[in-house]
Amino acid sequence: MKEKSIFIIISLMIKIVTFSQMMPQQGIWQAKLLRKDSNAIVFNFQWQQINDKPVLYVINGAERIKVDKITITKEDSIIFQMPVFESQFRAKMISKAKLEGVWIKSGAKQNQIMPFTAVANTSARFAIQSKPKANISGKWAMIFGEKNNPAIGIFQQNGALVNGSIVTPTGDYRYLSGVVNGDTLRLSTFDGSHAFSFSAIIRNPTTISDGIFYAGALGKEMFTAMKNDTATLPNTTAMYLNDEADSKLHFAFKNLDGKLVSIEDEQFKNKVVIVQLMGSWCPNCMDETAFLSDFYNKNKERGIEVIGLAYELTDNFERSKNSILKFKERFGVQYPLLVTGVTVSDEKRTEKTLPQLTPIKVFPSTIIVDKTGRVHSIDTGFYGPGTGDYYKTFKHRFYSIIDELVNQ
């Protein structure tokens, strides 16, 4: 009996040692997604072992995205699935301090695949070799591409380190992080869907030029920026009712259990209802879902309901369901998430789902319905927590509208 106990203890020790040998080194890593034009989208992650289980945190400024669906094989291969999007890494452990592999992002018809490398003991996102030429903290009016698309950069610089975001008429680029190295600005972000990198030259404290925006494997646009604390964006994404005489929504779609749910069901009557137009492929929808889920859990007893209408990459119910379930689980969503069965790329998506409205231009968009069932207001786009004051302004306006309707 004693010998058997010793054998069991030795076997467990061997398993623990073998497991630790298979694990990548703990700490901060620098990762690169490699483009065919030789440019790289750089980001950082932290690798940890918690109760002998691997956990990875993708780092973007103040954001930490927890990745805990990690598989390590005996052949030293690692697969980690991003928590929200149809996105995963497949890598080979070259050593405990180096990974090589690919990032795979699922699409409607084909996947986007980018080579991936990562090295340990590299907490810097970008190298800092020279003292910053200027401090770019503040608000910048930006112009992107040949069509002169407007945007606003919101940056906070501390020494050489820069954090912030870029807002557009359709949403924001979430958490950007980088440096000012001499006269060169470099920023990037990665969240499992967004894979963005920015580089530019700081000409003086009010002018940024020669900017290049890299998006994913192939996207590339030029940009410029001018310091402007009063910069604003045009309202090009508005959505309205087609017929003011019929100001009520009429829809019914399947929930994740396959049951038909209608806005005319009893549970929504005499309630303030927030209708969220979203998709599991959409990073800004992730931020809005986190906000709405928390808001609903704290306010549902006040006579408030939320319904999420999902427009997915395909019309396959099971694939859509599995992707939306990630949102539901990650953000503890207690309100119904419905599968419209209409793809986000369908040109007739509005006509097929919400014909009372003019075309849906932006995801997410939010429709607020009063207690009588009439549409009170429609918000297009969403500025998330990475945008600072824009996020605060959104919340203030949202709370004011809901409080007004609840108290009517």
User: Do residues 326 and 120 make contact, with C-beta atoms less than 8 angstroms apart?
Assistant: no
Query: What predicted TM-score, i.e. pTM, was given to this entire model?
Result: 0.91
Strand partners, 197: 188, 214
Packing angle of the helix pair 317-330, 283-299 (nearest 10 deg) = 60
Q: Is 189 helix (H, G, I), strand (E, B) or coil?
A: strand
Please give the pLDDT value at position 244. 66
What integer pLDDT is reported at residue 236 of this predicted model? 82
Task: Pick out the chain residues at pLDDT < 70.
Answer: 1-21, 244-245
For residue 52, the model assigns a pLDDT of 84
- Per-residue confidence (pLDDT) for residue 21, from 0 to 100: 53
- Residue 74: its pLDDT value, please? 79
Closest to 78 measured CA to CA, from 97, 57, 92: 92
34-69 pLDDT, tens digit per residue, is: 999 999 999 999 999 988 899 999 999 999 999 999
Strand partners, 202: 208
- Can you list the domains of the chain with their CATH numbers? 22-120 (2.40.128.120), 138-227 (2.40.128.120), 252-407 (3.40.30.10)
**Would you call the peptide bond into 364 cis, given omega within 30 degrees of 0 as the criterion?**
yes
- Let me know if 69 is exposed, middle or buried by CB neighbors in 10 A (0-12, 13-18, 19+): middle
Asked whether 330 and 84 are in contact (CB, 8 A), the reply is: yes
pLDDT number for residue 388: 94
Contact 95, 78 (CB under 8 A): no
Could you tell me the sign of the dihedral formed by the alpha carbons of 364, 173, 280, 55, in that order?
Answer: negative
The rounded distance, in Å, linking the Cα atoms of 160 and 258 is 52
Taking the C-alpha atoms of residue 53 and residue 45, their distance in angstroms, rounded to an integer, is: 16
Sheet architecture: strand order including 98-105: 63-67, 53-60, 40-50, 27-34, 112-120, 98-105, 87-95, 77-81, 69-72
Q: What residues contact 282, with CB distance under 8 A and at least 6 apart?
A: 193, 363, 364
Structure tokens at 228: 């402007």
Torsion of the alpha carbons at 368, 370, 376 and 378, rounded to the nearest 10:
10
Bridge-based pairing of strands 27-34 and 112-120 is antiparallel
